[in-house]
Amino acid sequence: MSKARTSIVDIARAAGVSKSTVSLVLQGSPLVNEKTREKVSALINDLGYVYNRGAANLRQSKSKIIGIVVNDLTNSFFAELAVGVDMVVQSAGYVQFLAHSGESVDRQRQVIASMRENGIAGLILSPARGTEASDVKPLADSGIPVVVVVRNLPGAKVSTLLSDNYGGAKSAVRHLINLGHRRIAFMGGFADTAVSSDRVRGYRDALMEAGIALNQNFVIHSAPSRAGGATAAERMMFFDERPTAALCFNDAVAFGVCDGLRSNDIEPGKGFAVIGFDDVIEAKTAVPALTTVSVDPQGMGQRAAQLLMKQINAGQVDQETLVTSVRLVVRQSCGAPVRQTEELA
Amino acid sequence: MSKARTSIVDIARAAGVSKSTVSLVLQGSPLVNEKTREKVSALINDLGYVYNRGAANLRQSKSKIIGIVVNDLTNSFFAELAVGVDMVVQSAGYVQFLAHSGESVDRQRQVIASMRENGIAGLILSPARGTEASDVKPLADSGIPVVVVVRNLPGAKVSTLLSDNYGGAKSAVRHLINLGHRRIAFMGGFADTAVSSDRVRGYRDALMEAGIALNQNFVIHSAPSRAGGATAAERMMFFDERPTAALCFNDAVAFGVCDGLRSNDIEPGKGFAVIGFDDVIEAKTAVPALTTVSVDPQGMGQRAAQLLMKQINAGQVDQETLVTSVRLVVRQSCGAPVRQTEELA
DNA sequence: ACAGTTAATTGGAACGTTCCAAATATGTCA
DNA sequence: TGACATATTTGGAACGTTCCAATTAACTGT
């Protein structure tokens, strides 16, 4: 019942055919006679045979595993991204091999190495902070397609899928300006990431466009988490001239900012307008519902996976950079009167 | 640079030794001479050799992969569980192969099959609703250890790690009773899961213990999500005699209930006491901070992984059932005056 | 210099597949 | 019936490792 794995030749022996025939059956080849197929299939079931994909890969050296490593599984943005990837990967007959680096480059190196050893056909990577182009170079060099998502990796010869951070931030700030706000803050996120600097740039340009002078203090960095948002909001309370609205680095920060406002008896959406970034699932159901720049992580995962699949099938690693468009979803937290949606290029 | 994978024999040829020696080097055997080791190691780097674990497994038929499949990655409880598992799995030199079933038994069957084909050394499973014992039987039969977590799987010959749902619910309700509440509801969750029925049982017994008659209407089932919580709260609003407090199926539901209360101008923690279950990260930072039964998903993941590792190393599949203890974390949402913690067995 | 150890190294035979060329069976036509 | 085409089936040689038994090299002490 346990012990020795039953193999293709065990089946062959039992069915009185050759192992080649069994192999043919396994692959659903049309070459094999209907009767033999039935007999073999029955035996496969009865003997509890399980296909050894490792052995198969050994011979044909192309596996059906795609790897995905994310920097923070705990953040539901990435969890959803992974789910999106999983959808297309599964339906293409591949299986997903998900790992998380916990924002550590070392760990990331480890898991990538391990994935390589296990023969992945391609990799989707949301890099940990501080990842170097050299971390993915060996992959790309040995012809394994890599798609980098969410954060970019300058210098790496790989495809990249980013969201339109600049445009999204810009349109969010424009919206706030249209609503009459003049003192607008940017809250949360670390200054040293490309994602953050792109969003801040969009924020600045929107202000400039409207002829509003930039107040340097209004860019308040913090950890990109709910807790970070709360502390950022607390810090803002000490300003002589407080902002009346904020664009937040992401939704987690935005929720934290709401928490911080409430602790100071300010109701988000009434006394202060809050806009997030990402549109995680909770954004819709929170109270007040969060106005946010929708990135659709699941869709992004799907696109990334499609891009990867294309390259795997084409058998070549391209270096293509896609920017996915992004749209502002207006809900209650910005105090806008009506529910509307603004499309972006 | 790409094309043919360089193998152990390529290295051997280049170094002027036999493939056996290279293999020895790879395994860090003390049998090999220091000078040869160096030469070989250098070549391994230079030629960009990557170890083929598939081939190795083929020979020694014990892999270093452990599989984990969760029913909903999007729920941060499970994401954290996975992170916990990952921690111990990594440090044991194994790698994790995470998949999510999206609460579909079919998908779950697929991914489990796929993992089997890829030769996992063990499996951690948080089963999708409706999973049968027969779904894991073949695994267990072929000697692959399986640890079922979170939900139990009656009849399956596998180890199980559950949290003390009964005790946790009981102590939460006791707390509400001590606070003076008499009309207490149980909100959220589907009636047909063991987890739900255990919690409801704890809720009932606590009421009974206090001599409070059970009002059947006060058990309001709904989807175990934020949205589900909101609708449950809305439904409650139509009661003639409304509850003054609720134990919720999980934290997501609890947040939803808070949303629903607010839409009806009731402030959670003031006009109505809310207790959740799970203690997800957001529970601490939410406003009001959520009183909840802390399950520590990450710790649970770690314990599950340890249990699995033990079985893998022992080379036998036990059938052990562990119940992890659980503690009530009192925060603001139940309206308790002081911040305190109650330990449970 | 020789036997006796100990230290390093090494061929092959597995492991469970796939793939190819070749063999065999089956059918068709005149 | 013989010759050909077509439908099935089949041995073996890979694939990249590990493991074992066996070989060779390098030291001992006398």
**Is B190 in the same domain as B332?**
yes
* Cα–Cα nearest to A273, from A343, A212, A191, A330: A330
CATH number of the domain that B213 lies in? 3.40.50.2300
- The whole-angstrom separation of Cα B199 and Cα A58 is 50
- The whole-angstrom separation of Cα B61 and Cα A2 is 13
How many distinct structural domains can be found in chain B?
3
The reply to whether residue B74 touches residue A65, judged by beta carbons under 8 angstroms, is no
**Is A170 in the same domain as A274?**
yes
- For residue A53, the chain B residues in CB contact (below 8 A) are 117-119
B56 closest-nt by C1' vs CA: D17
Q: How many CA atoms lie within 13 A of B253 on its CB side?
A: 26
Within a domain: A210: yes
- For residue A51, the chain B residues in CB contact (below 8 A) are 117
**Is A337 in the same domain as A223?**
yes
**Is A79 in the same domain as A194?**
no
Per-residue pLDDT tens listing for chain B (345 residues): 445 689 999 999 999 999 999 999 999 999 999 999 999 999 999 999 999 999 999 998 788 999 999 999 888 889 999 999 999 998 898 988 899 999 999 999 999 999 999 999 999 999 999 999 999 999 988 889 999 999 989 889 899 999 999 999 999 999 999 999 999 999 999 998 889 999 999 999 999 999 999 999 999 999 998 889 999 999 999 999 999 999 999 999 999 999 999 889 999 999 899 999 999 888 887 778 899 999 999 999 999 999 999 999 887 778 899 999 999 999 999 986 543 344 333
pLDDT given for residue B282 in this prediction: 80
- The whole-angstrom separation of Cα B344 and Cα A86 is 39
Contact A254, A225 (CB under 8 A): no
Query: In whole angstroms, how far apart are CA B27 and each of B20, B32, B48?
Result: 11, 10, 17
Distance B94 CA to C5 C1' (A): 40
Contact A84, A299 (CB under 8 A): yes
**Is A241 in the same domain as A338?**
yes
| A-chain residue closest to B263, CA distance | A287
Closest residue to B76, CB basis, from A2, A76, A82: A76
- The whole-angstrom separation of Cα B256 and Cα A315 is 48
Q: What is the pLDDT of residues A121-175, one digit of tens each?
A: 999 999 999 999 999 999 988 889 999 999 989 889 899 999 999 999 999 999 9
Distance A32 CA to C19 C1' (A): 16
- The whole-angstrom separation of Cα B345 and Cα A234 is 39
- The whole-angstrom separation of Cα B275 and Cα B268 is 10
The reply to whether residue A255 touches residue B48, judged by beta carbons under 8 angstroms, is no
Within a domain: B2: no
Which residues, 6 or more positions from B156, have their beta carbon under 8 angstroms from its beta carbon?
Answer: B133, B136, B137, B140, B146, B148
Within a domain: B1: no
Query: How do strand B184-187 and strand B219-220 relate by DSSP bridges?
Result: parallel
Judge whether residue A4 contacts strand C, using its CB and a 7 Å cut-off. yes
- For residue B97, the chain A residues in CB contact (below 8 A) are 97-98
* Residue-number span of the structural domain to which B233 is assigned: 165-296+328-342
pLDDT given for residue B338 in this prediction: 41
**Is A213 in the same domain as A273?**
yes
- For residue B226, the chain A residues in CB contact (below 8 A) are 281-282, 285
DSSP string, B164-223: -HHHHHHHHHHHHHHTT--SEEEE-B-TTSHHHHHHHHHHHHHHHHTTPPP-GGGEE-B-
Angle at B27 between CA B26 and CA B30, to 5 degrees: 110
pLDDT given for residue A210 in this prediction: 96
The reply to whether residue B52 touches residue A5, judged by beta carbons under 8 angstroms, is no
Judge whether residue B95 contacts strand D, using its CB and a 7 Å cut-off. no
CB burial of residue A41 (10 Å; 0-12, 13-18, 19+): middle
Closest residue (CA) to C1' of nucleotide C8 is: B32
Distance B247 CA to C21 C1' (A): 72
Distance A33 CA to C30 C1' (A): 29
Judge whether residue A58 contacts strand D, using its CB and a 7 Å cut-off. yes
**Is A133 in the same domain as A84?**
yes
| B-chain residue closest to A114, CA distance | B95
Q: How many CA atoms lie within 13 A of A119 on its CB side?
A: 22
**Is A273 in the same domain as A223?**
yes
Contact B186, B243 (CB under 8 A): no
B12 closest-nt by C1' vs CA: C10
Distance A11 CA to C28 C1' (A): 35
Q: Which two tokens stand for residue A31?
A: 């070459």
B59 closest-nt by C1' vs CA: C15
Alpha carbon of A119: minimum distance to chain B alpha carbons (Å): 7
Judge whether residue A90 contacts strand C, using its CB and a 7 Å cut-off. no
Judge whether residue A186 contacts strand C, using its CB and a 7 Å cut-off. no
Distance B232 CA to D20 C1' (A): 68
**Is B249 in the same domain as B274?**
yes
Question: What are the start-end ranges of the E strands in chain B?
Answer: 65-70, 95-100, 122-125, 146-149, 159-163, 184-187, 219-220, 245-248, 273-278, 291-294, 321-324, 327-329, 341-342
**Residue A63, φ and ψ in degrees, nearest 5:** -90, 175
**Is A125 in the same domain as A260?**
no
The reply to whether residue B86 touches residue A99, judged by beta carbons under 8 angstroms, is yes
- The whole-angstrom separation of Cα B281 and Cα B22 is 48
Collapsed DSSP state (helix, strand, coil) of residue B124: strand
- Bridge-partner residues for A248, per DSSP? A187
- Bridge-partner residues for B247, per DSSP? B186, B275
pLDDT given for residue B337 in this prediction: 53
Query: In whole angstroms, how far apart are CA B163 and each of B99, B191, B225?
Result: 22, 18, 19
Closest residue to B48, CB basis, from A107, A117, A138: A138
The reply to whether residue B83 touches residue A74, judged by beta carbons under 8 angstroms, is yes
A13-42 residues near strand D (Cβ < 7 Å): 16-21, 24, 31-36
pLDDT given for residue B336 in this prediction: 65
Which residues, 6 or more positions from A56, have their beta carbon under 8 angstroms from its beta carbon?
Answer: none
Alpha-helix residue ranges (DSSP H) falling in A146-278? 165-178, 194-209, 226-237, 251-263
In a mutational test of the A interface, the residue from B52, B258, B331 whose CB has the highest number of chain A CBs within 10 Å is B52
Closest residue to B83, CB basis, from A2, A73, A80: A73
- The whole-angstrom separation of Cα B343 and Cα B345 is 7
**Is B196 in the same domain as B281?**
yes
* Cα–Cα nearest to B151, from B300, B282, B254, B290: B300
b/e A244-253 (16+ beta carbons within 10 angstroms → b): bbbbbbbbbb
Q: What is the pLDDT of residues A201-212, one digit of tens each?
A: 999 999 999 999
On chain C, which bases lie within 7 A of the protein's CB atoms? 7-12, 14-20
pLDDT given for residue A339 in this prediction: 38
Is the C-alpha dihedral spanning B106, B112, B115, B119 positive or negative? negative
Q: Which DSSP letter does residue B332 get?
A: G
Within a domain: B58: no
- For residue A117, the chain B residues in CB contact (below 8 A) are 50-53
The reply to whether residue B52 touches residue A65, judged by beta carbons under 8 angstroms, is no
Within a domain: A1: no
Closest residue (CA) to C1' of nucleotide D15 is: A59
Taking each helix axis from N to C end, the angle separating A165-178 and A194-209, rounded to the nearest 10 degrees, works out to: 40
Judge whether residue B273 contacts strand C, using its CB and a 7 Å cut-off. no
Within a domain: B56: no
Closest residue to A74, CB basis, from B48, B79, B227: B79
Within a domain: A281: yes
- For residue B74, the chain A residues in CB contact (below 8 A) are 76, 79-80, 83, 281
Closest residue (CA) to C1' of nucleotide D12 is: A20
Q: How many Å separate Cα A184 from the centre of its chain?
A: 29
A vs B, Cβ pairs < 8 A, gives: 144
- For residue B281, the chain A residues in CB contact (below 8 A) are 74, 226
**Residue A62, φ and ψ in degrees, nearest 5:** -150, 115
Contact B168, B202 (CB under 8 A): yes
The reply to whether residue B2 touches residue A110, judged by beta carbons under 8 angstroms, is no
Within a domain: A56: no
- For residue A110, the chain B residues in CB contact (below 8 A) are 90
Per-residue pLDDT tens listing for chain A (345 residues): 345 689 999 999 999 999 999 999 999 999 999 999 999 999 999 999 999 999 999 998 788 899 999 999 888 889 999 999 999 998 898 988 899 999 999 999 999 999 999 999 999 999 999 999 999 999 988 889 999 999 989 889 899 999 999 999 999 999 999 999 999 999 999 998 889 999 999 999 999 999 999 999 999 999 998 889 999 999 999 999 999 999 999 999 999 999 999 889 999 999 899 999 999 888 887 778 899 999 999 999 999 999 999 999 887 778 899 999 999 999 999 986 543 344 333
- For residue A79, the chain B residues in CB contact (below 8 A) are 73-74, 76, 79
- Which run of H or of E encompasses A282? helix A282-285
| A-chain residue closest to B284, CA distance | A227
pLDDT given for residue B339 in this prediction: 38
**Is A17 in the same domain as A146?**
no
CATH number of the domain that A38 lies in? 1.10.260.40
- The whole-angstrom separation of Cα B195 and Cα B338 is 30
pLDDT given for residue A140 in this prediction: 87
Contact B322, B160 (CB under 8 A): yes
